[in-house]
Structure 1
Amino acid sequence: MVPTLRRLYSSTSAPSIASQFLSKSQSLPPHTHTQFLGANQLQRFSATLSRPELAQSLPKNGTPLPACYHLAYFTPSQVEEELGRDGTDTTFNPPRPFTRRMWAGGELEWIGGETNRLKIGQEVTETTKLVSAVGKNTRAGEEMVVVGVEKSYENERGVALIDKRNWIFRPEITTPQTPASEPDQVPLPEGKYTRDFTQTPVTLFRFSALTFNAHKIHYNREWCRDVEGHRDLVVHGPLNLINMVNLWRDVQGRDVVPKKVTYRATSPLYAGERYRVIMDEEQSKVSEVRIVDSYGKMSMVGQIESA
């Protein structure tokens, strides 16, 4: 297990903490985790995503993982006492006060393509290293630390996938926030390909359980409203990523993996509120995808590049 890095530094400014945190982190060896890709996890993950093709019966050995479904594996392993106050895994957290984590975006690249996919029955090693930590300011002037990690997934044939993730760490909440009010609804925009979602607390609970994500914003309404000031449970960023890629897969008409996916989360989505995934016609092997909520806000933007 990689040691957590949460000691206080001499300066509490975001740039100074980020610089020292990066230096300390990169002096440690990468975190490696080897796991057997089991069929049960894939079946239950598919059921959570309402994808019956892999949910109705137990997938056989050799079944390829659909793009981004590796997120159901290699889940955090910290005991509860090591988690943050908000329930988050703290393995790659900068020290206080920057402990409130948000999934900001990332990039995935399928190095092996169709010739080397992650499959049920394989033993796969995930290697994680911290590659960046930068102190920045929000538009409102609040300091934050943006942390980047890189994960590679290697089976018996070599590296199949590289997953780069960016997390934003804001100062921990010391004073409860006032719950946000619901804005006025507007019509959802149209597009070439669309798919609508209204996530339920059941889906968010099951997704949290299967990814072993104890972040309270996804299942604890009291925490969401009375502490962090959200108006309801927050939809997982990775869940939105998977739903964007699943729309792309369905338009492709066959189970293929992209060459590359880049994405960026821009605004939270909430349980019980309708939103839409919109994808444009592919141009030069690139499909532009975005998620828009019922209030006119862009929640995620992405590009999916075909092999």
Structure 2
Amino acid sequence: MASLTAEQGTPDVLWESIRQEVTDMAAREPVLASFFYASILSHHSLEEALAYTLAQQLGNGVLSDLSIHQVLLEAMTEDTETRDRMRRDLSAYVERDPACNHYCMPLLYFKGFHALQVHRVANWLWRRQRRSLALFLQNRASEVFGVDIHPAAEIGGGIMIDHATGLVIGETSVVEDNVSMLHSVTLGGTGALAGDRHPKIRCGVLIAAGAKILGNIEVGQGAKVGAGSLVLESVPAHTTVVGVPAKVVGHPREAEPSREMDQRINGGEG
């Protein structure tokens, strides 16, 4: 019998697909059968499985994996938006990453997905004034995954963070829906001033590896930022910028470059 989503009472097709994927993998690789059972097959929902996987990695001598599991599951159970965005993130990996051909892969193995979901819980805690615990989770995620996202940063759904190592997102950053980022991207400030000081990334943006976007500036909808670029001024919608400092060099053919993941500067521009 299919699992039911709590809010709709309808079959959870995504969760059932993941269970079937893992069942098939366990048959092909019996040495991992116990891992697949503990991580996926022993749980009743996608949220339970994700909370278990994250807690196993985040627990330490200060706060046990059981305590962290309870916090993660509390957020995922109570907050519909957190659940919805997590599922959209999961789908984004399968849609955009040619190395990802199963929904279970980000759930089990991809630290970019893991770090983002820890942030979603930390943000939920931050907004409820449970800020010490939010900062604890940020710190653990930074240690474990090499990804540092401030709990106050606002991040939409359908986000893919590929490889993820070295990613930094500052406190007042905003990342809207359907954005793709690669490793070593920084959404940072430009000094020690307080207040609104970090970038605003609009829908459908693609930020390639190593790009640094600094200050309270906007990267417009459907823009593309080339690898290694230093962006210090706002980027118009549907443009491609590259360089140090970044300059406009073209216009992407796609309305949302994040979905196509075409990081070329020449040949792919309209």
Hey, which of these two has a bigger chunk of helix by percent? 2
* TM-score, normalised by the number of residues in structure 1: 0.26
Hey, which of these two has a bigger chunk of strand by percent? 1
> Larger relative CO (CA 8 A, sep 6+): 1 or 2?
1
* TM-score, normalised by the number of residues in structure 2: 0.29
